[in-house]
Structure 1
Amino acid sequence: MANYKIGELSKKTGFSTDSIRFYETKQLIQPSFRADNNYRYYSEDALKRLMFIQRCRALDLSLKEIETLIRLEQQPQQNCHAVNEIIDLHLAQVEKKLAELHKFQQELQQLRQSCNTQNTVDQCQILKQLEAQ
């Protein structure tokens, strides 16, 4: 089984060494051993866990959600309802954010449409509307 120094994990995962240390302090990964030179060496399991964390972060899952998923993963015989619930709640949050972003997009489009001419800044309808709101 391979053992990696923190710099090697950083290159393989794209996480900074500080991020890797952070996940270690949160006890999401553990070094497999410390060498005589005091370097930490991490196992293939630590690499897999960091890749799992990376995929979760790419989905904008919170640290708390990731910690919960990891705890659930360590109970393989348990019903996966709890995992589904985490994802369902996160999906609802994403849908809410999308609705907010769509609203922002419409407001910005309306603002932009209010000024289609080459006016001076003191005549800019966008700035006038923003001041009025």
Structure 2
Amino acid sequence: MTRTVRTRLHDDHGRVTVYFAILAPAFLAMLGLVVDGGAKVRALQRADNIASETARTAGQAINAGQAITGGSKEVDPALAAEAAQAYLAGLDGVTGSVTVAPDRQNLTATVSLTWDPLLLDLFGALGSTTVTGTATVTLVAQ
């Protein structure tokens, strides 16, 4: 080999290595934001969906004796809370509560669950986060 070819082959001064060392963490952080950001959005959607189902379940706990005799349909607060807790008991890591309005025609379910990031947790940026979902239902008399 001639001297010029040998010099060109060994003429690496580490410029690519420094470039890679600077940009690789930035690319990993961006990937973490995309993956974990999407996962958090899905966790928030799941919390809202569970809150909706909890509210529907609790909304079916009406005062049956009063409704059967032709009276107004009203939510029984004790039965609604019991129905909501029974529904939530079948879900792992989900807690919640139901609040019945004084008019007993509206109720609000609030649920919480824990979301754990996948990639950003490796950088120590985030730990477990609690996400909350809320749903309100109104009884409709037919």
Q: Which has the higher helix share?
A: 1
Q: Whose Rg is larger?
A: 2
Higher share of residues assigned strand: 2
Higher relative contact order structure (alpha carbons within 8 Å, sequence separation ≥ 6): 2
Asked whether the two chains share a fold, i.e. TM above 0.5, the reply is: no
- Scaled by the length of structure 1, what TM-score is found? 0.31
